[in-house]
Structure 1
Amino acid sequence: MPTYASLSQSHPAGSPKEVLRKRTITGLRRLRAALRAHFPQGTDRMGTVRIGTWNIREFGNTKYGGRDTYEPLYYMAEIISNFDIVALQEVRDNMREFHALLAILGPAWDYLATDVTDGGAGNGERMVFAFNRNRVRFRNIAGELTLPDGKKILASFGERIRLENGISLELPDGVDLSGVYRARSDKKGGVVKLAEDVDIALPADTYLKLPEGSALAVTRGTEVTRPPGTRGRVTVQVPEGKICGEDFRLRFPGQALDQSFKQFARTPYLVSFQAGWLKIDLATVHIYFGDNEDEKLLAQRQREIASLTAALGKRAAKEMSKNPENTVLTAVLGDFNILSAEHETMQALEANGFEVPQEIRSIPGSNVAKDKAYDQIAFWEPARVRGYTRFEVRGANVFDFFDHVYTLAERSIYQPQRSEGSYKTWRTYKMSDHLPMWVELTSDFSDAYIDACDLSEPR
C-alpha cells in the first residue's frame, strides 16, 4: 500500500497546511472505499494479474501549477496501487512528479521508461511502465518499436518539399495566391502565427524549379537492356517531354523533403512481464491525435494504429512460428485516441489478429466525459491455444475518480473564483482528463498444468 508520510504531521488549527492535511485524509477515505467497491469482490488475487493504463495529463508540466501539493499525488498513488502493472502516458521529460509518485507507492514499486520522443508530434513525452515487484517480474526484454523501411508511416495529408536551397515554385503570370483561408492561429506578443498548415490549391501550369544537383532516378526493377560487350552498364529508355510513371522518381539534393512522419509520433514501448504462470508482452502507446474534426488527420491516426498492429502482429506470429509451444500473450494498451467502438480507428486496432475484449468494448468512454473510446487494451489472437495457459478476463472497467475527489461539489473549496467549466479544466491538471482503464486476467494455471501432466503418456 502507498505511504503517506505527510499525513502524520499536524499543523496549527485552521492553517493552510492543516486544511490541506485534513482535506487529503477525507479524500483518501472516500477514494479507498470507492476503490474497494469498484474492483471485483471475492477474487483470489494470488491467481490474477491486474493491468492498467492511464494517460495522466501533462504529468510533469507546470500548467495550472502542476501537482503543486502532495494531495493529487496521494490520490493517484492510491489508484495505481490497485494495479500490478500500469502503463502511463504523457509523462514529460521532467520526471520530478513521477518520482514523487513512485516514492509514495513504496519500495516494492519500480518502473521502466523511454527517453522523450523528438519532434513536435512527440510532445516531449515518455512511455512508462510502473509495476509492483511483489506481484510481477520484469523478464529482461524491453525495446522501442520502430518500423522497417517500406513500412514507415507517410503523412495522409501528403509529403512536403522544402522550397529553399534553389528549389522554388514558378506561378503563371498574373497569379496571386494571397487571400483569406480557413485555418487555426495563435497570437503571442501581438504577432499572429499559423497553428496548422494552410494548403492552397495550385493553378495549372505551375512549375517546380529545380536546383543544380537534382536528378531523375530510374527505380530499381525497371526493365532495361545491356549494351553489347559491356559490363556494369545499361541502356535506359527515358520518354521525351513529359516524364512520369512508376519507373521514375525525382531525386533532390540535400534535405529537400520535409517528411512529417516516418515513424510513430510517439514511439511505442514493448516490455515483457511475468505474473505467476502468465507471460505477457505489453506494448504501450500514445497514438497521434491531430484533430477529431479533420478527416486527413483522422486518417493519419488510423494509419498509425494500423501500422502498429501490423508490426506487433507480425512480431507475435514470428515468435509463435519459431516456437509453436510459446505461451507468451501479446497485448497493446494505452491512448489510441479512438473515437468510438464503431469508428475506423477501432477497426484499425482490431486488425492483424488483435481483439479488444467485450468487457472493454462495452465501456462507454475513457475520457472524463465518457463519450470517447480513447484508451483501449487489445490482445493478439486471444483464442489461440497456448498449452495450459488460457486467456481469461476476470474483470475490466474504468475508474471515475472525480466522483470521489475534486468533485464538482468541492469547487467552492478548491477554486471558488472559477466557473464550473474552468474548474473542470483545472482539476484535470491535478488528476487527468482520462480515466484509468484496467483489465484483470487469470495468472494461475496450476490445475491445467497438473491435468496436462496427468494426460501425458509414459515413455
Structure 2
Amino acid sequence: MVAYWKLRYAFRRYAPEKQKVLLNQTIDGLKRLRAHIAAAMPIRTAGQTLLLGTWNIRNFDDNRFGNGPRLDETFFYLAEVISAFDIIAVQEICEDLAPFERLMETVGPEHDYIITDVTIGDAGNRERLGFIYNRNKVHFTGVAGELVLPFDKQISDVTKKRQFARTPFSCSFQSAWFKFNFATVHIYFGEDGLTTPEFKRRVAEIDSVADFVAKRAREDKTTAHILVGDFNIDAFDAPTFDALAKHGFEVFKNKEGSNSTQTKFYDQISFMPEAGQVSLANAESGKAHGVLNVFHDVFRPEDFGIHRDAVIETLDRKIRVANDEIARLQKTVDTPGANAEKVEKARKKIAAQQETIAELNSLKADEPRLGEFYEKEWRTYQISDHFPLFVELNIDFAAGYLDKLKNGDTIIS
C-alpha cells in the first residue's frame, strides 16, 4: 500500500495555505487515479493470478533536459501506479538513486526492487533497468544477470562489433506455482527511417535479445520466459516487431499505443510459449492486458491552470541556465590574447543561447503555446512519455497437478 501518511509532510516547505492547496490537489489526483486503476486493470488476487507490467519512466530523475525536477505530488502518482502491480519492470532509471529510493519509500515497505548499475557509453545514457515487486506475492529466487552477447553474436554495424546500447537485465522469480525468468530491455532508438544505420541497429538489438532469450527458453522447459520493455517498436507490421516475432515470441498485442499520444507501440510484453505456462487470466473480462493512460487522471489538459506556475518556473530555470552559460562563454571572449578560433566558437554559442532565451520568453508570453508545451513536453517529464503496460497471468496450477497425480503420471515405483 502506498505510504499515504507521507502526504502530511510532503509539502511542508511551502506556506500553510499553499500546503493545503497542494495536499487537496494531490488527494484529488490520487482518488481519480485509484478509480481508473480499479476500472481499467484486473483486481489483484492472493494466489490465483499475477499482475505483471512494464514501464519506461522517462529520465527518472536527473533533470538533464531541464524540464523537471519532478514535483512532490508526482512521486505519489508514480507510487500509486507501481503499487497496482505484483511485479513491474522499469526502464530509464538514472544514475542518482536518491529519487528512486524516495519513490520506493512512497510505494511502501511491501515492495522491494532489483536494479542494475548504470550502462556506460553515450548510447546507454547512464541508465538503469530493474524490477519492482510486491514481496507478499512474488519472491526473487536468486538468479540475476545482465545479458551479454558472445563475440560471434555481437551486433554488427559494419565498422565494429557491438554489445547492446543498454544491457538487458534478467532475473528469476516465483509467485505461487509460477516460476518465471523475467527479462527487460530498453532498445536503442537512434534515428527513424527504415534505411538509416540507427534503425538497422535497433532491429539488430531486438533480434539479438530475442534470439538470446529464446535459446534459454528452449533449454529450460520448467520455467516460463517473459521478455518485456521499451523495444521502440513503431507498429506491429514493422521490421522491429518482426525481429521479435521471428524467434517465436508471442506478444500481448494492445489496441492502443503506449507512448504519450498512444500512436506508437514502443513497449511490449512478450513470452515464449513452449513451456505452456504463460496464459491469460480472465481473458473474457476484456481487461486482462492493456495500457494505463495516466494522463486521464493527473496532469490532464484541464489541469494546466493548476500547474501553470510550475511550468513557468521550469522555463525560468532554463533561462537562468542559458544566462549562466552566456556568462561562462563571455569570459573566453573577453580574455586578452584568447585564441581567435575559440573566441569565434564562443560567440556562436552565445548567439545560440540568446536565441534560446528569446524563444523561452516568447513561449512564456503566449498562453496557447504555453498550454501546448505543458501537454506535449512538460508533463511527460513529470509522469512519462510512455504509459505502463499490464497483463494478468494465471499462476495457480494446482488443478492440473492434482489431475496428474490422479492419473498416476507422477507415481514413484
TM-score when normalising by structure 1: 0.71
| Conserved 8 A contact 1:64-1:426 | no
- For 2:373, which of 406, 422, 427 is the aligned residue? 422
1:343 to 228, 238, 245: 238
Task: Answer yes or no: is the 8 Å Cα contact 1:53–1:438 preserved in 2.
Answer: yes
Between the two proteins, the alignment pairs up a number of residues equal to 343
Output the CA distance in 1 between the equivalents of 2:34 and 2:303: 18
- Residue 49 of structure 2 contacts residue 281 of structure 2 at CA under 8 Å; is this kept in 1? no
Query: What is the CA–CA distance in structure 2 between the aligned matches of 1:66 and 1:356, rounded to whole Å?
Result: 34
Instruction: Answer with 341-350 or 413-422: which moved more.
Output: 413-422
Which residue does 1:78 correspond to in 2? 80
**Counterpart pick for 1:372 among 264, 274, 285:** 264
Say whether the 8 Å CA contact 1:85–1:132 is kept in structure 2. Answer: yes
Find the residue that maps to 1:431 and give its secondary structure. Answer: coil
The TM-score, its normalising length taken from structure 2, stands at 0.79
Give the secondary structure class of the aligned counterpart of 1:410. Answer: helix
Q: Distance in 2 between matches of 1:309 and 1:365?
A: 21
Deviation string for 1:161-212 (max 9, x for gaps)? xxxxxxxxxxxxxxxxxxxxxxxxxxxxxxxxxxxxxxxxxxxxxxxxxxxx
State the partner residue of 1:4.
4
Cross-structure match for 1:52? 53
- Structure 2 unaligned blocks of 5 or more: 283-287, 310-363
Q: Deviation digits for residues 227-260 of structure 1, max 9, x if unmatched? A: xxxxxxxxxxxxxxxxxxxxxxxxxxxxxxxx4x
Distance change >3 Å, CA 415–CA 84, structure 1 → 2: same
> SS at the partner of 1:441?
strand
Q: Paired residue for 2:129, among 121, 127, 130? A: 127
Query: Which structure has the highest helix share of the two?
Result: 2
Matched, 1:352 2:247: yes
Higher strand share: 1
Q: Over the residues paired in the alignment, what is the CA RMSD in angstroms? A: 2.0
Look up the match of 1:333: 228
Tell me whether 1:453 sits opposite 2:405 in the alignment.
yes
Alignment map for 1:379-398 (pairs within 5 Å): 379-380=271-272, 382=273, 384=274, 386=276, 389=277, 391-394=279-282, 395-398=288-291
Question: What corresponds to 2:384 in structure 1?
Answer: 432
**3-state secondary structure, aligned to 1:298:** helix
Of 393-402 and 129-138, more deviation after overlay is shown by 393-402
Once the two structures are aligned, what percentage of the paired residues are identical? Answer: 39
Write the mapping of 1:314-329 to structure 2, written as runs, cut at 5 A.
314-320=215-221, 326=222, 328-329=223-224
Aligned to 1:278: 178
Q: 2:101 aligns with which of 99, 102, 118?
A: 99
Report the counterpart of residue 336 of structure 2 in structure 1.
Answer: none
The superposition leaves residues 331-359 of structure 1 with CA deviations (integer Å, 9 ceiling, x where unpaired) of 110000001011010010112221113xx
Secondary structure, in 3 states, of the residue corresponding to 1:15?
Answer: helix
Distance, in Å, in 1 between the alignment partners of 2:207 and 2:79 is 33
Structure 1 position 270, deviation (Å): 0.6
- CA distance in 2 between counterparts of 1:390 and 1:284 reads 17
Please give the alpha-carbon distance, in whole angstroms, between the structure 1 residues aligned to 2:56 and 2:50.
20
CA shift, 1:420, in A, is 2.5
Indicate if the aligned counterparts of 1:290 and 1:298 stay in contact, CA closer than 8 A.
yes
Which of these residues, 212, 224, 245, is aligned with residue 311 of structure 1? 212
- Distance (whole Å) between structure 1 residues aligned to residue 69 and residue 400 of structure 2: 47
Q: Does 1:442 align with 2:330?
A: no
Q: Which residue of 2 aligns with 1:256?
A: none
Relative to structure 1, the CA distance from residue 270 to residue 367 in structure 2 (aligned partners, 3 Å threshold; closer, same or farther) is same
